[in-house]
Structure 1
Amino acid sequence: MTPDFHALGLSAPLAQGATAAGFGTPTPVQAAAIPAVLRGADLLASAQTGSGKTAAFALPLLQRLIDDPSQRQSNHARALVLVPTRELAVQVGGVVREVARHLTPRLRVVEAYGGVSINPQMQALRGGTDVLVATPGRLLDLADHNAVKLDAVQTLVLDEADRLLDLGFADELARVLALLPARRQNLFFSATFPPAVEALAASLLHDPVRVSVAESPIHTPDIAQRAIAVDTARRTELLRHLFADQGWTQALVFVATQHAAEHVAAKLRQRGLYATSFHGGLSQGARQQTLAEFKNGQWDMLITTDLAARGIDIAELPVVVNYDLPRSPVDYVHRIGRTGRAGQSGEAISLVTPNNAAHWRLIAQRQGLNLPLERVAGFEPTGVEVATAPARTEAQGNGGIKGKRPSKKDKLRAAAAQASKPGGSSA
């Protein structure tokens, strides 16, 4: 029988906060992670998207803060949660604040991310904060302005750790690690742990508890996956046809680039659908407004880059469409994980063109998928499959799949080792 949150070691007010925030019975990752974090152990936790990873670190992190007699200091953070995107910072901060709502004394939670003015964030940090949820770039900006000091951080959480090690984050992460105290608790959470994350974990974590929650029939998302063959030039027409023919109420559509998001959204609007784009080129205010409008049902389709592939929770989203195929099987998992959440069913459709057919077979092989390549009447492809070389280039990395370059991994391992003092970090 699965224990409740109180039985896992959380105080009554915190367990009450978890219930009020909509967390009923602890999920497998929560049941395994919470006691380990409460003991002060370092943690390496892997579980599928939508499994409750945020609460798995937020709840015990808050418990350890309220049990600690030390008080927050001006301009200091007691706990740091690093996330890869602005949207995830807002979402994680909201969860932490919600489950802490019933605590006395109140804990302070601050979110820090780019795309908005830094001044309000600097002001929020003047009196110090108990939990700082931040993207690496904005965190370093705040540190450079002496708005926050990280030498008193007791717990570091890397949420979506694999994304944090994507190209562009490795150097920033190494700089952040150099600002942290050597003795601290480290919690790594992600749906996947590629070699670069394992290398960083080996250099930073001290005798970590490993939590790996395999999918089970009870907890596996109910997502019906399909692959449809179509010529590249007819994808937009097919998308419009499917929306009407399948009776979708909404769809989240993934494309490869910001330009494609704008272009496809414009073409769909010309064809009578309420479609809009969502990508990193928009201002933070525009992104928040667009996402809120989509969640409220004001848009039929949200055409997005991989910005929306992680950390964004859209209740009862019926379908995800890969208009452009993801670059890797890992990205495929995160994309389709936006549907079929919280016990709901969902559908994921990939549009397979002659240009990317070889890449689709590679993704399907890596994911263990055996999907028939469907053809929709009136949209049968007429193009001829291209040679495999272009498909490999589209997904280029290690072994034909996007991955971490060895030189990058070596640089990350060296930077992490330099940031860690002799003896490593500990609980």
Structure 2
Amino acid sequence: MSFQNLGLSTALLKAISKKGYTTPSPIQEKAIPPVLEGRDVLASAQTGTGKTAGFTLPLLHYLSENPKTKFRPIRALILTPTRELAAQVHESVKDYSEFLNIRSAVIFGGVNQKPQVAKIRQGIDILVATPGRLLDLQNQNLLSIKRVEVFILDEADRMLDMGFLRDIERVMKLMPSKRQNLMFSATFSKDIRKLANSILNNPVQVEATPENSTVDAISQKVYRVAKGKKTGLIIKLISEGQWQQVLVFTRTKHGANRLTKKMVASGISAAAIHGNKSQGARTKALAGFKTGKVRVLVATDIAARGLDIPLLPHVVNFELPNISEDYVHRIGRTGRAGANGQALSLVSADETSYLKGIEKLIDQKIEVEIIEGFEPDPNASTEPIKQGQGRQRNQNRNRNSASRSSSGGNKNSNRNRNRRRNTNSRRSN
């Protein structure tokens, strides 16, 4: 099978050839034909297998073959969960539309909206967006999606994980009911299938690989280690292994910042990327990592779906995710496009149940190694970490304090908390 056999236009084939691609990946081979036919599609494939081209190429073919010459309303909307993924998808749109008369734009939070609005006002065919910024600009009457012909929900399961269900439902109401709908993701839970039933009309379901599977090119290993010795172990592995490009995942933003500082203090160039970082800082960190100026990028799961780093050799789980599916997304940053990759996890006693859940999900026992001097604590509890214990104690103290305040003070406190919550929600987009 070649791209020529898929029925794509000459201009698209030229762009594909310029990128150096000759043979479609399994998900592209299965998804592109029904999308070209105008069918709704529910597509599942592991990360790094070319899902973006699976919907971008047929979308561009349709728009270019059915042009709107008088004006340029937004005809296609691609919704993504994170800024990084939105930027990555938009780059693909621009690359593949190089020889087409197609205009596109990307919008996301964390940056000034004025350049984004100016781009939209020039007239665009395709809009790539995160939910928060999209709804914000729509509420300001700065854009309209009432003429959208194709709606694409990328990384749909991550959308639900990040609490975007209500935003998705709001977006759906702003578009015409008659349109083509595509849902692409690495995994599909029961909740996702429920969402698909509410969006898709008699969809074609395509699957390139079994759900939640990990690519064969990724070598996986677990290092059993005492919790307090993790930092020393990861520094040893990176230094003695002379690893030059390592993506490290932590469970929290604070943990990412703390580990980054310790890496730098040990002479390893490192940067953190997470939701509390400004968009400028996130872009700078990622650019430095891609060019080799930054040796280690420490990230939270917000980056798991938005990072596309060719030939990334090492991914390290400094802490295992408490959601097993996130492990698949994390290690999927390596072993992309057929390249080999190594995924390592530092596992302390309190993460034992997380490891069991991951092995059950991927139906695979992961090789275990213990390094001398970094042995696990035999007396440590295997009870999993209870998320937010510290936050709960603070909330209890706040409630006790609030009960001694006036009702007016309570109202002001509630309003302040709501404002902070809304600000944090927008910042994540």
The interval holding the TM-score normalised by the smaller chain is 0.7 to 0.9
Q: CA deviation at 1:369?
A: 2.2
* 2:81 counterpart of 1:84: yes
* 2:322 counterpart of 1:327: yes
Secondary structure at the residue paired with 2:259?
Answer: helix
Counterpart of 1:189?
A: 184
Counterpart of 1:67?
A: 65
Secondary structure at the residue paired with 2:215?
Answer: coil
Contact 2:82 2:303 in 1 (8 A): no
Q: TM (normalized to structure 2)?
A: 0.87
Q: CA deviation at 1:362?
A: 2.0
Counterpart of 2:97?
A: 100
Question: In structure 1, what residue type is equivalent to 2:228?
Answer: A
Q: TM (normalized to structure 1)?
A: 0.87
Deviations 1:352-383 (A, max 9, x none): 10121222122222221212431001111224
> How far apart in 1 are the matches of 2:55 and 2:45?
13
Counterpart of 2:279?
A: 284
> How far apart in 1 are the matches of 2:195 and 2:48?
24
* 1:336 alignment partner, one of 328, 331, 344: 331
- What pairs up with 1:158-197 in 2 under 5 angstroms? 158-197=153-192
Counterpart of 2:391?
A: none
Q: CA deviation at 1:21?
A: 2.5
Q: CA deviation at 1:72?
A: 6.7
Secondary structure at the residue paired with 2:293?
Answer: coil
Deviations 1:190-235 (A, max 9, x none): 010111110111122111111011269xx93411100011111110
> How far apart in 1 are the matches of 2:293 and 2:102?
35
Q: CA deviation at 1:127?
A: 3.0
Deviations 1:82-103 (A, max 9, x none): 0001111111000011111012
Secondary structure at the residue paired with 2:137?
Answer: helix
> How far apart in 1 are the matches of 2:17 and 2:70?
27
> How far apart in 2 are the matches of 1:93 and 1:285?
18
* 2:299 alignment partner, one of 275, 295, 304: 304
> How far apart in 2 are the matches of 1:317 and 1:31?
25
Contact 2:45 2:209 in 1 (8 A): yes
1:128 to 1:72, Cα distance in 2 relative to 1, 3 A: farther
Q: Which ranges in structure 2 are unaligned for 5 or more consecutive residues?
A: 389-429
> How far apart in 2 are the matches of 1:315 and 1:12?
27
> How far apart in 2 are the matches of 1:292 and 1:24?
28
* 2:142 counterpart of 1:147: yes
> How far apart in 2 are the matches of 1:63 and 1:323?
43
User: Aligned-residue CA RMSD in angstroms?
Assistant: 1.8
* 2:13 alignment partner, one of 9, 12, 15: 15
* 2:373 alignment partner, one of 378, 383, 394: 378
Q: Which ranges in structure 1 are unaligned for 5 or more consecutive residues?
A: 396-427
> How far apart in 2 are the matches of 1:54 and 1:192?
15
Contact 2:83 2:306 in 1 (8 A): no
> Comparing both structures, which one devotes a greater share of its residues to helix?
2
- What pairs up with 1:409-420 in 2 under 5 angstroms? none
> How far apart in 2 are the matches of 1:346 and 1:236?
22
* 2:50 alignment partner, one of 45, 49, 52: 52
Return structure 1 stretches of 4+ with deviation > 4 angstroms: none
* 2:38 alignment partner, one of 40, 52, 58: 40
Deviations 1:113-140 (A, max 9, x none): 0110111111111132110000011001
Secondary structure at the residue paired with 1:378?
Answer: coil
Secondary structure at the residue paired with 2:231?
Answer: helix
- What pairs up with 1:328-407 in 2 under 5 angstroms? 328-388=323-383, 390=384, 393=386
Question: In structure 1, what residue type is equivalent to 2:160?
Answer: L
> How far apart in 2 are the matches of 1:72 and 1:111?
23
Q: CA deviation at 1:184?
A: 0.2
Contact 1:84 1:164 in 2 (8 A): yes
Contact 2:56 2:93 in 1 (8 A): yes
Contact 1:278 1:287 in 2 (8 A): yes
Secondary structure at the residue paired with 1:356?
Answer: helix
> How far apart in 2 are the matches of 1:322 and 1:138?
31
Contact 1:357 1:385 in 2 (8 A): no
Deviations 1:32-60 (A, max 9, x none): 11110111000000011111000010000
Paired residue total: 386
